[in-house]
Amino acid sequence: MKKLLSILLCLVGGWIPSSGQYIQAYLSANKVGVEDVLQYNLRVVGIASPSTPSFPNVPTFAKTKLFSQNSSSTQGGVTTYIQIYRPSQVGKYQIPSHTFKIGNRRYNSPAFDIEVMAADTLADSVRLDPSLYEQHEIETWLDVRYSKDTCYVGEQIEGEVLFFVEKNSRPYVSFEGKDILEVQQRFKHEAFWEEAIDYRRIEDYMDTVRGKEYFVFVLQRTFFFPIRSGRIVIRDVSFEAKEKLYPKNISEYDRLLNRGVKQKPLSVEAPFRPIYVMDLPQEANKRTNAVGDFEMIIRTDEEELRTGESFQFRVIVKGNGNIALVPRPDIHQPASFLLYEPISNYEFARTDSQLYGFKEFIYEMVPTLKGHYDLGPISFRFFNPETGRLDSIYKESHPVEVKGRDMSSLLKGEGIQQFYTEAFAKAQTKQLIKIPYLVPIASGLLFFVVLLIGLAFWKWNKLKV
């Protein structure tokens, strides 16, 4: 009978009335984990400015912080003292009955039985003994949504993983960054080339589904580009959130700080939602793999072109679609122009529900002959999934004028001096001597070297004789 009374007092606390003034003592839980926090709460009612009481010592429990909270009730002021204990060893213990001296009165608290458990064992005990914690109906679900369920190979599709939490369930559901990273790793498929959108924080909004209000968390948003046709399904998209368990009789202050709160796994899995991918029309499939809606911009980085000097000819394709997969546009290379292997780079940004960006192709050229030239025609073909047909952008001409001396004339006579003068000027290096003067100097040095070799050979032959 005494043991039953002790357990009852542990769960609901004990209180001792005295002429409208009383205390109530209770614990935050009767089962805690090693190195967990145990709160011993002493509620003093009807006593103005009570002195700070001392709390009992418990073997293997370290007493750490002691603080208080003030409030009011119909019986007068209420002061709640909270002593924090930290257990260090697994086992069963008893916090003995204790006499608290409040003002000129003495109040006796009941004894409390407490069990310290290993962390994994504690998690099991929470599932097996739910009576220790508040019970709430939790409603959550996971969904995968696509901007289209039918598309062409290479067409842009937006995919989202959405976590729905019913409005009244929100205070009891939590998740961490690592939980979100795990679901992001699952939202992939080998049949998709993808561009994931990174966010500094998780987006959330309110939505009404079947007459209920939900918090909707966007766990992942990705733009997919199918690379093959057929029925494609991303399977096993699941999310591991946590359900927060609040001990019974927890104070509002402790609830606010999540003190004594435990968590248990809350697993949700998204339904399968297939995407049906169609092949491009035969004509488009042979001529391009750019799919979307694009435009083309052309420019050179130099207003005046000169022979022997390289310049960059830039072709920029921008729009909505598979920007990264856009092929190199066709350009015209004049016969007297040297052309290096072109390089490309791309950037993108999200606008509404589409991926918008550009891809720049840089052609580095060196003209060798002066004159008027045309780098056109320049053409770019793409398949527009909205119209279902092959489109093209065609620039008839892009005229340029090249000035300076032909490369062949630079290699003769005074052209050599001009060539090196310009070269030194571009390198910002001082020219110490004019290039034509090097010819007689070099000839004289060569004659002197040959003369020395001849004299040495004559001397050696004479000595031999």
pTM of the predicted protein model? 0.56
pLDDT tens column, 218-259: 998 888 889 889 999 988 899 999 998 888 888 888 888 877
Average confidence (pLDDT) over 143-158 = 90
Band of residue 167 on the pLDDT scale cut at 50, 70, 90: very high
Task: Give the percent of the chain with pLDDT over 70.
Answer: 79
In 3D space, the residue among 26, 127, 13, 157 whose CA is nearest the CA of residue 81 turns out to be 26
One-character DSSP codes across 86-155: EE-S-EEEEE--EEEEETTEEEEEPPEEEEEE-HHHHHHHHHH-GGGB------EEEEEEES-SEEETT-
Report the pLDDT averaged over residues 349-376.
Answer: 84
Higher pLDDT residue, 351 or 330? 330
Question: Would you state the pLDDT for residue 449?
Answer: 74
What pLDDT, on a 0 to 100 scale, did the predictor assign at position 166? 95
Closest CA to 24 of 35, 16, 32: 16
Band of pLDDT at residue 73, cut at 50, 70 and 90: low
Residue 105, C-beta contacts closer than 8 angstroms, at least 6 positions apart: 18, 21
Mean pLDDT of 285-300: 82
pLDDT in tens, 107-137: 888 999 988 887 655 555 555 466 778 888 8
Beta strands 212-226 and 157-166 are antiparallel
Asked if pLDDT for residue 6 goes beyond 50, the answer is: no
Q: What is the mean pLDDT of the chain?
A: 79
Q: Name the least confident of 7-21, 68-82, 331-345, 370-384.
A: 7-21
75 vs 344, higher pLDDT: 344
Question: Which of 341-345, 364-368, 405-409 is least confident?
Answer: 405-409
Top mean pLDDT of 97-101, 119-123, 450-454 is at 97-101
> Which of the given ranges, 6-15, 197-206, 254-263, has the highest pLDDT on average?
254-263
Asked if 58 and 85 touch (Cβ cutoff 8 Å), the reply is: yes
Q: How far is CA 365 from the centre of its chain?
A: 39
Question: What's the pLDDT at 435?
Answer: 46
Q: How confident is the model at residue 328 (pLDDT cuts 50, 70, 90)?
A: confident
State the pLDDT confidence band at 168, using cuts at 50, 70 and 90: very high
Give residue 349's pLDDT: 75
**Residue 73 to residue 63: CA distance in whole angstroms:** 29
Dig out the tokens for 58 from the structure: 């418990």
pLDDT band at 207 (very low <50, low <70, confident <90, very high): very high
DSSP 310-347: -EEEEEEEEEEE-GGGPPPPB----TTEEEPPPEEEEE
Does pLDDT of 286 surpass 70? no
More confident residue, 33 or 423: 33
192 or 424, which is more confident:
192
Which of the residue ranges 9-18, 39-48, 129-138 has the most confident prediction, judged by mean pLDDT?
Answer: 39-48
Q: What is the pLDDT of residue 195?
A: 76
Q: pLDDT band at residue 203, thresholds of 50, 70 and 90?
A: confident
Beta pairing, strands 91-95 & 354-367: unpaired
How confident is residue 390, by pLDDT bands cut at 50, 70 and 90? confident
Collapsing DSSP states into helix, strand and coil, what is residue 391? Answer: strand
Which phi and psi angles does 420 have, rounded to 5°?
-75, -30
Unique residue bearing structure tokens 């960006």: 357
Backbone angles phi, psi at 205, to 5 degrees: -155, 170
Q: Measured between alpha carbons, how far is 333 from 162 in angstroms, rounded to an integer?
A: 51
Token match 């699952």: residue?
A: 186
